[in-house]
Amino acid sequence: MSEPMREAVAAAAAPVSAVTSARLTYRQLTLAAVALLALAWGWLPDFTVTLLNYIGLHALVALGLVLMTGIGGMTSFGQAAFVGLGAYATAWVCTAPEVASALQGLPPALLPWAGLALGLGLTFLVAWGLGAVTLRLGGHYLPLATIAWGLSLYFLFGNLSFLGGHTGLTGVPPLSLGGWTLADPRALGVLIWTVLLLALWALHNLLDSRQGRAIRALKSGRVMAESMGVDTARQRTRVFVLAALLAALSGWLYAHLQRFVNPTPFNINIGIEYLFMAVVGGAGHLWGAVLGATLIALLKEQLQDWLPKLFGMSGNFEIIVFGLLMMWVLQRYADGLWPTLAGWARRAGVGPAPRTLPAPAPLPERPLPPAGTVLLDARNVTKRFGGLVANAQVSLQVRAGEVHALIGPNGAGKSTFFNMVSGVDDPTEGEVLLLGEAMTGRPARDFAARGLGRTFQHVRLLGQRSVLDNVMLGAHLRGRRGWLASMLRLERHEEAALQADALRQIERCGLAEHAHSPAGALALGQQRIVEIARALAGHPALLLLDEPAAGLRHREKQALAALLDQLRREGLGILIVEHDMEFVMNLADRITVLDFGTVIAHGTPAEVQRDPRVLQAYLGDDLGSGGAA
């Protein structure tokens, strides 16, 4: 990690250490601000209320984008189209004569609610379908696809005659809620902000849960998340659908605020504006959506006044200025403006409240297989990369209660083998059995579910999240509660159990004092130990460790050896790739030696050390004297 990166990560850690010193918590500050807004609402000038209403509507869309883009790592330019779906659905239901005749029994006051149901239903289907097709696309294809559907839906709105073409639909009635008619923007604004605050609360809860950890893991790539048991395709689709539903909800409110709809506000340039809001506010922070929506609204207001005067003619000049400003903000504040604001708050003594959890619920336990059980059975595994044979007919068994070392020079094919026996990659030929079950073609998360835990040669942690958070991700499969329970905070007992267990693993790995530090601030050797703790949090029967001792000091290596010995006595099976020969020879029960993808020797440390092929081909005279291979 580069020095500035380490500093940035250390800075991000500050709120964690500020837990106890905060004079005022974020929650108290938020509640005070909400109370103030509520008290002032009746007295604010009409103009301010209108502005706040639009900020609320835009923030709702940007909120979905923060979740999707900033946290889940999927960029969308097409959210405006979903706003349009929500707005057009209700406008059509409320104004079309054919709907009126079809829903004759329905009191007119309920029509907007039917419109909401249609809007959310349609959006759900469209987003699900689009997600299934486009979320598989990697790299820049997803953002491009979002532009494509954004444009398509926009032109669809403008070209369907039953939606009024480019003129749109007029005569949308106001909402009414329990006998109250929300015709006055001031009245509807209460609903808009209530919806926004509820959405913020629910998403905050979601991110602070097991499901939230899975969502955050998406950004660091498929391999790590799947190895922790996360169904990444499913999580991505859900995030995408949720963001679309928030946009549709905003569209529904918008239609009943504006009382007419036409295609203009759902164009792709508005979609880009929503992305501006999320990114400028702070794409990784939920409140960044509100900040971004506020800044853009105020700025637009000012620019639309000033720019035409400046240029002496009218036009959409603000788009140009937005573009330039966005470049400047991203250059100067890569994570948006929210972290800067949070920094000011911190200096003023505002910080997060300590996390309080109820008594832990019991977690499902899986007894370890008896010692000697064959956990991993790789049979004649071959892997070819084009013409290169990285593994040739490798057979290897790992039993419960033993440490099996896989050694060999760089490029021998050890990591390739690891990937095949952990479901990251499929063998070209041969078979991998886990606890007796053939695993060919199954994803890494199925391996994890069957009791395999692993670490990576190149550490894959969420550097900005705490060690505890990272380790809890490893326990993903031990929890059961879903998205809805998480949003409503109904999974706190389970969360408490996961946290308690993760803390135990952190402690036994000797990282207790770092539990609340961001993982990225630790030395690389310690980050490897965090990966071991994360693997242990899943309570695996089989542990795969790819060079766990690299970067550790002598003392730390001894502690690691003691830990692995302890795990072996508890009955785990451990497959370890390691270059430190002293470490391997003292620890391993059996050793398999790979060279150019082929097994050249196999046996106890003593047998392998005597094997002439090993001595000649690979280990030379250093064997047994502690020299690295």
Enumerate binding residues for Mg ion (CB under 5 A): 414-415, 457
SS3 (DSSP) at 43: coil
Half-sphere exposure of 337 (CA within 13 A, CB side): 17
Contact (CB, 8 A) for 614 and 600: yes
Q: How far is the CB of 425 from ligand ADP (least distance, A)?
A: 8
Q: Which is nearer to Mg ion, 415 or 455 (CB)?
A: 415
By CB under 6 A, residue 411 contacts ligand ADP? yes
By CB under 6 A, residue 415 contacts ligand ADP? yes
Contact (CB, 8 A) for 254 and 61: no
Q: 294: closest CA among 193, 225, 362?
A: 193
By CB under 6 A, residue 385 contacts ligand ADP? yes
By CB under 6 A, residue 408 contacts ligand ADP? yes
Residue 412 interface partner, choices ligand ADP, Mg ion, none, CB cut-off 5-8 Å depending on type: ligand ADP
Q: How far is the CB of 353 from ligand ADP (least distance, A)?
A: 45
By CB under 6 A, residue 410 contacts ligand ADP? yes
Q: 624: closest CA among 592, 595, 581?
A: 581
The phi and psi torsions of 628 (rounded to 5 degrees) equal: -70, 150
C-alpha 252/C-alpha 256 separation (Å) is: 7
Q: How far is the CB of 427 from ligand ADP (least distance, A)?
A: 13
Burial of 300 (0-12, 13-18, 19+ CB in 10 A): middle
By CB under 6 A, residue 600 contacts ligand ADP? no
C-alpha 375/C-alpha 371 separation (Å) is: 10
Residue 413 interface partner, choices Mg ion, ligand ADP, none, CB cut-off 5-8 Å depending on type: ligand ADP
Q: Which is nearer to Mg ion, 356 or 410 (CB)?
A: 410
β pairing state of 24-25 and 573-577: unpaired
By CB under 6 A, residue 455 contacts ligand ADP? no
Q: How far is the CB of 419 from ligand ADP (least distance, A)?
A: 8
By CB under 6 A, residue 40 contacts ligand ADP? no
Return the exposure string of 508-531: e unless at least 16 CB atoms fall within 10 Å of the residue's CB, then b: ebbbeebbebbbbbbeebbbbbbb
Structure tokens at 360: 């832990």
User: Of 207, 412, 535, 614, which lies in the binding site for ligand ADP, with binding defined by CB under 6 A?
Assistant: 412
Contact (CB, 8 A) for 517 and 13: yes
Other Cβ atoms within 10 Å of 553 Cβ, number: 10
Q: How far is the CB of 419 from Mg ion (least distance, A)?
A: 10
Residue 410 interface partner, choices Mg ion, ligand ADP, none, CB cut-off 5-8 Å depending on type: ligand ADP
Q: How far is the CB of 139 from ligand ADP (least distance, A)?
A: 17
- 448, amino acid identity: A
| H or E element at residue 123 | helix 111-134
Q: How far is the CB of 563 from ligand ADP (least distance, A)?
A: 23
Q: Which is nearer to ligand ADP, 244 or 619 (CB)?
A: 619
State which of positions 388-407 bind ligand ADP (CB under 6 A).
Answer: 388, 390
Stretch that binds ligand ADP, among 218-226, 299-307, 413-421, 494-502 (CB under 6 A): 413-421
C-alpha 573/C-alpha 570 separation (Å) is: 9
Residues making contact with ligand ADP (CB under 6 A): 385, 388, 390, 408, 410-416
